Amino acid sequence: MSWSWIPQNWSLIWQLTWENAKLGVLSAIYGLIISIPLGVIAARFRWFYPPTLAVVSIIYAVPSLALWIALIPAFGLTDTTVIIGLTAFSLCVILPNVVAGLRAVPAPVRQAATAMGYGPTRRLVTVELPLAAPVIIGGLRVGVVSSISLASLGQLIGVSSLSYLFIDGLQRSFPTEIIVGLVCVIVLAVVCDLVLVGVRRALTPWQPRRQVAIAQWTGMQRAALRRRPA
C-alpha cells in the first residue's frame, strides 16, 4: 500500500468518484421516474403488471456489458449508453416496490379517501403515493447502491468511472490503486444509502418506529431478491 499515491492523485480520485456517483444516482432517479407511472398503471390494472414484469425481468437478466454493447451503435461510447443501461436495471428493482407499496395502502384508507370526495388523481398524489413512499424508498436504496457499483464498470466501454482505477491498477500491478477504487465505490454507495434513509425519515414522521423497520425490511428483502450481482 503506497499511501503517498493518494494525495498525489487526489483530483483524479475525486473526479472519478464524482463521475461514478453521477452515473449511478442519475440512473436510479430515472429508474424511479419511469417506475412510478408504470407502477401506478400496474397497481390500477392488474393485467398490466405480469407482462411488464416479464419484460423488465428479461432486461434484468441481460449482462450489463452486453446491454451497453448493444446500445453503442445508437449512442456511442457515452454516458448516455451507461445511463440507459443502468436505468433499465434500477427500474427492475424499483418497479416491483412501487407496485407493492401502492397495493399495501390499506383498503379502508383508500375507500375513506374516495368517500371524502377525492378524485382518483388527487387521491393518488396526496394519499396513496405518500403512503407507499417507505416501500418505494426501500427499492430506491437497493437501486442506487447497485447502480453505483454497476456504473463503476463504465470504464470498460470508455466511460470515465472508478473502474479506471481497477483496470489501471491491474495493468500496472499496483494494488494501492485497486484498493482505493474499491473503497471509493463502497463509501459512495454507503453515503447514498444513508442519504436515502434520512430522506425516508424526513418524509414519514407518521410511522411508528417498529413499523418502519418492518416496512423497510420487507422492501429491502423484495428488492434484494432482484438484486443482480455486479
Partner 1 sequence: MITFEAVTKRYPDGTVAVDALDLEVPVGKTVVLVGPSGCGKTTSLRMVNRLVEPTEGRILLDGKDIREQNPAKLRRGIGYVIQQTGLFPHRTVEDNIATVPVLNGWRRQKARDRARELLTTVGLDPELARRYPYQLSGGQQQRVGVARALAADPPVLLMDEPFSAVDPVVRASLQDELITLQRELQKTILFVTHDIEEAIKVGDLVALFRPHGKIAQFDTPERLLGDPVDDYVAGFVGFDRGIRRLSFFTSQGLSLNTGPVQSADTTVATAQASGESWILVTDGGKPSGWVPADSLAGQPGSTPLSQLAAEPVGHTFTVGTDSLRAALDAAVLSPAGQAVGVDDDGQAVGVATFDQLRAAIQAAERAAEAAAAASSQPADATTDETDNSKKRDPGQPGVQPGVQSAPSGAQP
Q: Which residues bind partner 1 (CB under 8 A)?
A: 106, 108-109, 111-119, 127, 130-131, 204-208, 211
Give whichever of 123 and 141 is closer to partner 1, judged by the CB atom: 123
158 phi and psi angles, rounded to 5 deg:
80, 10
Least CB distance to partner 1 at residue 106 (A): 7
Q: Are 89 and 64 a contacting pair, CB within 8 Å?
A: yes
Strand, helix or coil at 206? coil
Provide φ and ψ at 13, rounded to 5°.
-60, -45
Other CB atoms within 10 A of residue 182 CB:
15
What residue type is 179 in one-letter code?
I
CB of 57 to partner 1, least distance (A): 31
Q: Least distance from C-beta 97 to partner 1, angstroms?
A: 18
131 vs 144, beta carbon nearer partner 1: 131
Minimum gap (Å) between residue 206 Cβ and partner 1: 4
Nearer to partner 1, 181 or 219 (CB): 219
Q: Which is nearer to partner 1, 61 or 116 (CB)?
A: 116
Q: Which of 160, 149, 175 is nearest to 229 (CA)?
A: 149
